[in-house]
Structure 1
Amino acid sequence: MFLINPTTLDYHRIPVFHLGLPQQSSYREYGFGYDFASDDYKVVNLSRYRKGNIDTTFVDVYSVRMGLWRRLESLPYDDVLSERGGASGVFVNGVLHWMASKASSFVIIGFDLSDEKFFEVPAPTNLYGNELDWYELRSFRGCLCMFCALLESEIDVWVMKEYRVEESWTTFRIDRMDLENGLVPFCPISDDDVVLSVDRDRLTVYNIKEDQWRYMEVDGLTYMFERTGIFIESLVSPMFGMGTEGYHIA
């Protein structure tokens, strides 16, 4: 596993954790973010192990500054839910977020990278519970965002304007479209336009103000999109001194 800055091409090799579970015997979710308190990048690995009467999710944290893995207490929830086409560990406000199951329902959980503790984030009210066709968490203009939809219905987009304040959730609705690969990457390209998804060599762009979506062709592509993401251009290095195994590509 590597951390890479696409602008500078600096990268850092993350070593294999000696307590890490084999991929064939576990299901895992990752998260990556910056710890403002300690000026450190951290990778969080949630790996669920199920065998016989044993069912637990291990929480492992890697510190780039220290160059080592640590195992914390097990996840205090039933399971981390896999979001269809979604990114793992949505980073907002110094916290990584996942959907998790709890007592046959779902909750939004946050993992604070500074104190390395889990907590629950209030979800939007009036959701559909277990009747949801799919859901995804995203970061949108610095706010936690949640997509949810019913089968053969529209997509509700919820945005938490003020972090951890339940009353600050606002919503708008998008007509259902073909989203085989999920809502990726949901990136604003103007005040009103956001990229919602990718389909082979074109992007689906939604205009929030006009409540309309359109296709945007991408010139010069020879292969269709398979995995996409967004990043903010930066000259910050993913390495800290000589204490970690970092590389530079000339």
Structure 2
Amino acid sequence: MLLLDVFENRTHVQVLSVADNVWKTIPDFPAVPLPNIYTGQGGSDGVYLNGRLNWLAIQDRPVSVDVDVWEDIEAKEFVIVSLDVETESYTQLMSPCAFDEMSSIKPPSLCILKDSLCFSHDYRRTEFIIWQMETFGVEEPWTQLLKISYQTLRTRFHDFADLKNCQLLPLHLSDHNDTLILANNQEQRAILYNLRDNTAKRTRIIDPIQWFSAKVFVESLVSII
């Protein structure tokens, strides 16, 4: 988990060691994670993939900052901080080069689709774009995976006032790349988007589900031997 030290103006990561049931602090987080007001219900949770925890963060910003200042964030300031759990070392990854315009609605987000790190964002209040990282550590590892029109998704948010409060989170992409499941923080039901015929429909599930609180489960982050 992330621990913000406002007095020292630093962010640290704490990892629970299963072997001795002790929280270990990994200092010197190299950027500033997004505050909860910008990341929705998921807060500053990282996404886990292949032995690494990945957080979306901002470069060169103080930890303790007035919310109004964050409204001036530019797209080029976003960075992905990747922590190798085994070596306890950080790597900074740049966002897609084509992500050059910050949305006035929501910041971008990270997710895992088909064992790949993905970066998604709003585009000019008309489309939702998902980028996929193909190779970790190269200069430009991103390729555009999907570009979906909000009109195609048939959400009930048609004007800016409503769309400003709507956040989409990719949950799952089917093995045959034909169906994408999207969570919508304004509704209990998820959205099923069919890539083949470019159509969308709601799930039949109407029971309250905390879609944005779902976390990736792995047997162990580190060896306890």
TM-score by length of 1: 0.64
Q: Which runs of 5+ in 2 are unaligned?
A: 62-76, 158-162
Q: Which residue is 2:5 aligned to?
A: 49
- CA deviations on 1:21-69 (whole Å, 9 max, x unpaired) are xxxxxxxxxxxxxxxxxxxxxxxx2111224xx4221222211123212
Q: Which residue is 1:216 aligned to?
A: 203
Q: Does 1:123 align with 2:79?
A: no
Q: Does 1:137 align with 2:110?
A: yes
Q: Does 1:108 align with 2:80?
A: yes
Distance across 1 between alignment mates of 2:198 and 2:138: 27
| Structure (1 or 2) with the greater helix fraction | 2
Which amino acid in 2 is paired with 1:183? L
Q: Does 1:80 align with 2:33?
A: yes
SS, match of residue 126 in structure 2: coil
Which amino acid in 1 is paired with 2:192? V
Q: Which residue is 1:173 aligned to?
A: 147
Q: Which residue is 1:27 aligned to?
A: none
Distance across 2 between alignment mates of 1:167 and 1:210: 30
Q: Does 1:68 align with 2:53?
A: no
Q: Which runs of 5+ in 1 are unaligned?
A: 1-44, 244-250
Report the number of matched residues.
189
Which amino acid in 2 is paired with 1:67? N
Distance across 2 between alignment mates of 1:55 and 1:231: 30
Q: Which has the higher contact order (CA 8 A, sep 6+)?
A: 1
Q: CA 1:208 to 1:86, structure 2 compared with 1: closer, same or farther past 3 Å? A: farther
Which amino acid in 1 is paired with 2:172? C
- Decide whether the 8 Å contact of 1:60 with 1:69 is kept in 2: yes
Distance across 2 between alignment mates of 1:237 and 1:74: 24
Q: Does 1:226 align with 2:210?
A: yes
Which amino acid in 2 is paired with 1:197? A
Which amino acid in 2 is paired with 1:175? S
* Deviation of the 1:152 alpha carbon: 2.0
Considering only aligned residues, what root-mean-square deviation do their CA atoms show, in Å? 3.1
- Identity, % of aligned pairs? 23
Distance across 1 between alignment mates of 2:30 and 2:126: 33
Q: Which residue is 1:196 aligned to?
A: 182
Q: Which residue is 1:28 aligned to?
A: none
- Decide whether the 8 Å contact of 2:170 with 2:180 is kept in 1: no
Q: CA 1:109 to 1:237, structure 2 compared with 1: closer, same or farther past 3 Å? A: closer
Distance across 1 between alignment mates of 2:3 and 2:11: 5
Which amino acid in 1 is paired with 2:34? L
Distance across 2 between alignment mates of 1:66 and 1:174: 46
Distance across 1 between alignment mates of 2:9 and 2:52: 26
Q: Which residue is 1:183 aligned to?
A: 168
* Deviation of the 1:231 alpha carbon: 5.6
* Deviation of the 1:201 alpha carbon: 4.8
- Decide whether the 8 Å contact of 1:200 with 1:224 is kept in 2: no
* Deviation of the 1:190 alpha carbon: 5.0
- Decide whether the 8 Å contact of 1:86 with 1:183 is kept in 2: no
- The answer to which of 181-190 and 147-156 deviates more is 181-190
* Deviation of the 1:230 alpha carbon: 6.2
Distance across 2 between alignment mates of 1:102 and 1:231: 26
SS, match of residue 96 in structure 2: coil
- Decide whether the 8 Å contact of 2:123 with 2:129 is kept in 1: no
Q: CA 1:166 to 1:212, structure 2 compared with 1: closer, same or farther past 3 Å? A: farther
